[in-house]
């Protein structure tokens, strides 16, 4: 029984709670709805208060926007780079923490998760300064490195969660049967981690793609899709930005729904197995 039986809380508090939820979700969704509506307004600045009629034209305007397209390509390039860096780093960190017993373990762990507790702009700034010392100025490379600093912490935590459920005796059994360490790694450890590598890659990609604070401080003169959106919001704002919003909303709703359905199914399966 995962939830508390209804009579543990009075009926009146149930009603209050329901009203509260409705207000909260209205607060969460109304602004997004306004943003979507303004994307179809035939008016030069994003607005719902001045309605000039329905139009699809901002989709066309966005499709013609070359800076947006280069931003998208840059975003994807950075995200791929981040995956390539954060997978091995996160994996190595997770192995180190789960398998390396030493009194520095706690400190090491603290350092490796610290990027998650550091403001994004600081990661951007410090990476920029660090690489300038080495003669590399801000660009896609520094942006990818800065993002990978904290995204590796995410992937590490995901790998750690998976490794905690691993039966270490499997590896020992394989070694006992004469496998080399490399063979054990390839045949036992990696297959076990495979599903996590997949989900961690998706998370890493999304985190990188969505990032603004770290990127804007480390990308120098280049731009990503998200930093370009950011600068459009300050200068030259048109409903084309709302169209991007519409695209993001549609994608998010789709994937979030799939995710929740998948999660519920997993939960039910787990419950069925448990009894």
Partner 1 sequence: MNSLRRSFGPILSLVIVVLVGVWVIGMIVGPQLIMVEQSLWNKEIGGDAAMNSTRIDRLYNEVDTLGFDISDAEALAESPKRTEKIATITAEIDAKKSTIKELEAVEIKPEKIYSFKNYTLMGASHFFIFVKTIGAAVAVTIIAFIVCYPIAFTVAKVATPGKAALIMLFLIIPYSINELLRVFAWLMILDNNGVANLLLGFMGFDPISFLGSGAGVFIAMIYAYILFMVFPIYNTVETLDSSQIEAARDMGAPTWQIHRKIVIPHAKPGIAVGCIMTFMLSAGSFAVPNIMTRGIAEPWFTQLIYNKFFESSNWNVGSAYAFTLVIACIVFIFMMMRFFGVGIKDIAK
Partner 2 sequence: MRGMDIELRDVSIRFGGFTAVHPTNLKIKAGEFFSILGPSGCGKTTILRMVSGFLNPTSGDVLIGGKSMAGIGPDKRPTALIFQSLALFPLMTVRENVAFGLEMRGMAKGPRSDKAQELLDLVALGDQGEKTPDELSGGQRQRVAIARALAVEPAVLLLDEPLSALDLKLRQHMRSELRDIQRKTGVTFIYITHDQGEALTMSDRIAVMKAGVIEQVDTTDLVYNAPSTAFTATFVGANNMFKGKIKEVSSDGAVIDTKYGLLRGTNPKNLSVGSEAILFVRPEKMTVQSGGKKSDNAIDVKYERRDLEGAFVNLHFLQDGDKFSVHQTNVNLKSHEKGESCTIGFDSKAGMILATGELADE
Nearest to 218 by CA among 133, 147, 124: 124
Q: Which of 73, 129, 190, 202 binds partner 1 (CB under 8 A)?
A: 129
Q: Minimum Å distance from CB 160 to partner 2?
A: 25
H helical segments located in the chain: 11-38, 57-63, 66-99, 105-113, 120-133, 140-164, 168-176, 181-184, 190-210, 213-218, 225-234, 240-274
55 binds partner 1 (CB under 8 A): no
Q: Does 197 bind partner 1 (CB under 8 A)?
A: no
Give the distance from CA 155 to its chain's centroid: 11
The answer to whether 163 contacts partner 1 (rule: CB under 8 A) is: no
Single out the segment in contact with partner 1 by CB under 8 A; choices: 59-67, 74-82, 180-188, 191-199: 180-188
8 binds partner 2 (CB under 8 A): yes
Q: Using the rule CB under 8 A, is 185 a contact of partner 1?
A: yes
272 sits near partner 2 (criterion: CB under 8 A): no
56 binds, among partner 1, partner 2, none (CB under 5 to 8 A by kind): none
| Contact residue for partner 1 among 42, 44, 264, 266 (CB under 8 A) | 264
Which residues 6+ apart lie within 8 Å of 47 measured at CB?
38, 41
Q: CA-to-CA distance for 127 and 161, rounded, in angstroms? A: 28
CA 149 from chain center: how many Å?
A: 14
DSSP state of 41: B
Here the contacts of 42-47 (C-beta below 8 Å, separation 24 or greater) are 43/239, 44/238, 44/239, 45/237, 45/238, 45/239, 46/237, 46/238, 46/239, 46/241, 46/242
Pick the piece of the chain touching partner 1 (CB under 8 A) from 64-72, 74-82, 127-135, 197-205: 127-135
216 binds partner 1 (CB under 8 A): yes
Question: Burial level of 2, CB count in 10 A (0-12/13-18/19+)?
Answer: exposed
Binding residue for partner 1, selected from 83, 140, 144, 145, defined by CB under 8 A: 145
Stretch touching partner 2 by CB under 8 A, among 5-13, 29-37, 107-115, 238-246: 5-13
Q: Pick from 80, 108, 197, 203: which binds partner 1 (CB under 8 A)? A: 108
Q: Which does 137 bind (CB under 5 to 8 A by kind): partner 1, partner 2, none?
A: none
Indicate whether 2 belongs to the interface with partner 2 (CB under 8 A). Answer: no
Binding pattern for the stretch 10-39 against partner 2, x by CB under 8 A and - elsewhere: x-----------------------------
- Give the span between the Cα atoms of 25 and 30, in whole angstroms: 8
CB-neighbour burial class of residue 78 (10 A; exposed 0-12, middle 13-18, buried 19+): buried
Determine, following the binding rule CB under 8 A, whether residue 28 of this chain makes contact with partner 1: yes
Of 15 and 26, the one with the shorter C-beta distance to partner 2 is: 15
The residues that touch partner 2, with contacts defined as CB under 8 A, are 5, 7-8, 10
């Amino acid at each position: 029984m995962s939830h508390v039986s209804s009579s543990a809380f009075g009926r009146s508090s149930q009603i209050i709670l329901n009203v509260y939820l409705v207000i909260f979700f209205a607060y969460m969704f109304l602004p997004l709805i306004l943003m979507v509506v303004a994307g179809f307004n035939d008016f030069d600045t994003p607005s719902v208060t001045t309605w000039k009629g329905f139009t699809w034209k901002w989709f066309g305007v966005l499709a013609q926007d070359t800076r947006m397209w280069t931003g998208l390509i840059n975003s994807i390039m950075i995200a791929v780079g981040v995956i390539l860096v954060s997978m091995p780093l996160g994996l190595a960190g997770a192995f180190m923490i789960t398998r390396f017993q030493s009194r520095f373990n706690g400190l090491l762990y603290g350092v490796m998760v610290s990027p998650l507790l550091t403001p994004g702009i600081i990661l951007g700034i410090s990476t920029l300064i660090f690489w300038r010392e080495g003669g590399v100025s801000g660009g896609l490379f520094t942006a990818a490195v800065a993002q990978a600093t904290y995204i590796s912490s995410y992937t590490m935590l995901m790998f750690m969660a998976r490794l905690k459920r691993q039966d270490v005796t499997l590896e020992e059994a394989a070694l006992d049967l004469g496998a080399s360490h490399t063979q054990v790694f390839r045949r036992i450890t990696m297959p076990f981690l495979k599903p996590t590598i997949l989900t961690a890659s998706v998370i890493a990609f999304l985190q990188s793609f969505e990032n603004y604070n770290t990127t804007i401080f480390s990308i120098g003169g280049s731009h990503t899709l998200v930093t370009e959106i950011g600068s459009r919001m300050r200068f030259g704002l048109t409903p084309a930005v709302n169209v991007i919003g519409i695209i993001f909303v549609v994608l998010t709703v789709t994937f979030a729904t799939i995710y929740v359905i998948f999660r519920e199914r997993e939960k039910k399966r787990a419950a069925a197995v448990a009894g």
